[in-house]
Chain A
Amino acid sequence: MDFGNIFASALGEMFSPTTAAYALAALGLAVHFGYSGLLNFGQAGFMAVGAYGFAVSTLTFGVPFFVALLIAIVCATLFALLLGIPTLRLRADYLAIVTIASAEIVRYIVTTNQLTAVTGSANGLAAFEGGFYSMNPFPEGSYLGMNNRDFFIRIVGWGVVIICCILVWLLMRSPWGRVLKGIREDENAVRSLGKNVYAYKMQALIIGGVLGALAGMIFTLPRGAVQPANYGTELTFFLWTCLLLGGMATVLGPVIGAMMFWVVLSLTQSILYGLIESGAITWLTTAQAGQLRYILVGVALMLLMIFRPQGVFGNKKELAFA
């Protein structure tokens, strides 16, 4: 086994655009659940809305990149309103049920054969990223071992993550964030102090949803394709894993959590494959090893919940009174 290679690829995963997308979507979940107590089990749906909103408006309507970006954000806002208006007056559990169902509804709608002309059905859409890469300021060449396209998407992806982290941090230290945290703890008490709880929850749902939509775009741009299979329920649960790994009511937690998630996946895969190829493990095929690493992530999450339940960045003091 070449450990140098293994660590290099793990490090590469750490800063891949997919990790940036996971970090951003998990940050959205932190706004939803960590700060506001909204149980959103449909973050994959928000990502799909963002990705398809962008891809469809580019391909079907031929709008420029930034208009498509705006359309995607507006779509995510409408999706959040659609989910929130009937459910935010109810208990948190109902939002969880509605979001998990609506994320699936989004996925089934874009898979529908009747919409093949617009959404590409199960095959999805491709070739919509031209507008993005045409803005690439980097001339062709090698940047840290990457070509200029890969380098550009990483810079943009992580740039967006950093900007969003700063915005979320600024929001959460403000009195607005304090009201949200109060709602997370006890919304009736906040109501009794004269705050419009419903409006705050809606704002939080929209902000987290827009972060999810941005993540969907960052997820889909380097692939050059958007496919419904990518936005299944398991994506949502991977995002939750990232959030729990990092710490729920923190800004950096989801980012670090997403990095850890992908590093662990990458390391376990490389090591298992290496062991299988070198003949050290004979009772496992490489296909099985691919499955096994998700089991290992699950085990890692369980260990974390037992021994460091607040996540890597979480505040132990907050958890002492859970």
Chain B
Amino acid sequence: MSTSSEHTTDTGVDFMTDSRPIAVGEALPGCKKRDPIVVAENVTRSFGGINAVDVDYLEIPRHKITALIGPNGAGKTTLFNLLTGFDTPNSGTWTFEGKSLAGVSSYKVARMGMVRTFQLTKVMGKLTVMENMRLGAANQPGESLGKALFKNIWGGREKEITAQAEVLLEKFKLDAKTDDYAASLSGGQRKLLEMARSLMVQPKLVMLDEPMAGVNPALTQSLLDHIKNLKADGMTVLFVEHDMHMVRHIADWVVVMAEGKVVAEGPPGEVMKNPAVIDAYLGAHHDVDLGDAEGIRELEAELEANDESVVGTEDAGIIGVETVTGQPHSRTEKDTP
């Protein structure tokens, strides 16, 4: 990467207020970034003839919060799986900090500093919240079989891990739940635990798959701040989210996917006005169910799309595809002819 010489200039920069341009040149799909942490090239993955992911070129900017948005089935989670080694692409190359990740197994990817969470939250139900957190920590010598029998070898590191976990649990408002089984947590709390646990790895890049799904609105605000603050610690964040309010609030950069391709990229304010994005979310009718509603819903969707006062405001989140295919107005399912 030609940007490698610029890494040194990053030291001493406050990543929270760093306002240098993210992209080199114009913000077009597949544009070069000033300082990319992940570079994906020609990454494709098809499931039985359907191209779930077909990304020509994508760079994720370092020390920034990047949002990955797009309608359901756009390939966002599949791209996550491919990047983190949980799935293997049919073709393509992708690198993390300049190191190729082709054929690297998922646990090694995590050790390199690229840690993900899952859309369907995965917590270890029959372990306590604290044990879940400790499990995330790296460099615990007691995790090797030879040293596991001797507490004097791993006891010290265990104390460090526990202290680190306590700080994180407090941040994520889970400190009261420390000794509860993770299975007793609510769905939102599990999301929080999963996110906190991924931070125990002390990753360079955190990949969050719908971090706000199911988290109550009161908590959302503080969580958003936590995610923002990850930048201050020098982390890079990539997240998938349908909540446009959240995207606008914390993202420095937005990547829009539709039908497996990157259709737009740019700062959140500009991307939301991009016709390709509006089309991806509203105009492309492939995921609007037209069969039984005789085009009424389609019409409604079109009307929503034409209403520019909605698109590009904080309300944009409610015109996600789910809402459109449901009932945008107050009618119930039965009333539909």
Contacts and interface: CB of A to CB of B under 8 A. Distances in A.
Interface of A: 167, 170-171, 174-179, 181-182, 184-186, 188-197, 203, 249, 317-318, 320-321
A193 B184 contact: no
Nearest to A195: B107
A194 B107 CA distance: 4
B124 A174 contact: no
A177 B116 CA distance: 23
Contacts of B197: 193
A179 B116 CA distance: 18
A193 B198 contact: yes
Given A185-B125, A192-B110, A194-B107, A170 B142 contact: no
Contact of B134 (A175, A190, A195, A249): A175
Contacts of A195: 107, 135, 143
Given A185-B124, A189-B122, A170 B107 contact: no
Contacts of A176: 142-145, 148
Contacts of A189: 118, 122-124, 194
B142 A185 contact: no
A181 B143 contact: no
A189 to B, nearest CB: 4
14 contacts: A170-B149, A176-B148, A177-B148, A178-B127, A185-B124, A189-B194, A190-B135, A192-B106, A192-B110, A192-B117, A193-B135, A249-B126, A321-B181, A321-B184
Interface residues of B, number: 41
Given A176-B142, A181-B126, A182-B127, A191 B107 contact: yes
B140 interface: yes
Contacts of B183: 320-321
A186 B158 contact: no
Nearest to A319: B126
Contacts of A186: 122-124
Contact of A197 (B107, B125, B126, B127): B107
B57 interface: no
B138 interface: yes
Contacts of A193: 107, 110, 115, 135-136, 197-198, 200-201
A143 B142 CA distance: 43
B172 interface: no
Contacts of A182: 124, 127, 132, 135
Interface in B91-127: 106-108, 110-111, 115-118, 122-127
A196 B106 CA distance: 9
Contacts of B149: 167, 170-171, 174
B148 A175 contact: yes
A45 to B, nearest CB: 23
A189 B117 CA distance: 8
Interface of B: 84, 86, 106-108, 110-111, 115-118, 122-127, 131-132, 134-136, 138, 140, 142-145, 148-149, 151, 154, 158, 181, 183-184, 194, 197-198, 200-201
Given A175-B154, A192-B110, A193-B197, 10 more contacts: A174-B154, A176-B142, A179-B143, A181-B126, A181-B127, A185-B123, A188-B122, A190-B124, A192-B115, A321-B181
Nearest 4 interchain pairs by C-beta: A321-B183, A194-B110, A176-B148, A175-B142
Contacts of A191: 86, 106-107, 110
Secondary structure dominating the interface of A: helix
A321 B126 contact: yes
A200 to B, nearest CB: 8
Given A191-B106, A192-B110, A174 B148 contact: yes
A159 B286 CA distance: 69
Contacts of B131: 178, 181
Contacts of A167: 149
B282 to A, nearest CB: 33
A192 B195 CA distance: 12
A167 to B, nearest CB: 7
B206 to A, nearest CB: 11
A317 B184 CA distance: 10
A244 B86 CA distance: 34
Contacts of A196: 107
Contacts of A317: 181
Contacts of A320: 181, 183-184
Nearest to B115: A192
Nearest to A181: B127
B135 A174 contact: no
B181 A170 contact: no
Contacts of B201: 193-194
Contact of A188 (B86, B111, B136): B86
B193 to A, nearest CB: 11
Contacts of B132: 182
Given A179-B135, A194-B138, A321-B126, A188 B118 contact: yes
A189 B183 CA distance: 15
B147 to A, nearest CB: 8
Contact of A175 (B115, B118, B143, B184): B143
A177 B142 CA distance: 9
A191 B86 CA distance: 9
Contacts of B148: 170-171, 174-177
Contacts of B110: 191-194
Nearest to A193: B136
Question: Which residue among A170, A188, A193, A317 has the maximum number of chain B CB atoms within 10 Å of its CB?
Answer: A193
Nearest to B136: A193
Contacts of B136: 193
A251 to B, nearest CB: 14
A175 B126 contact: no
A188 B87 CA distance: 12
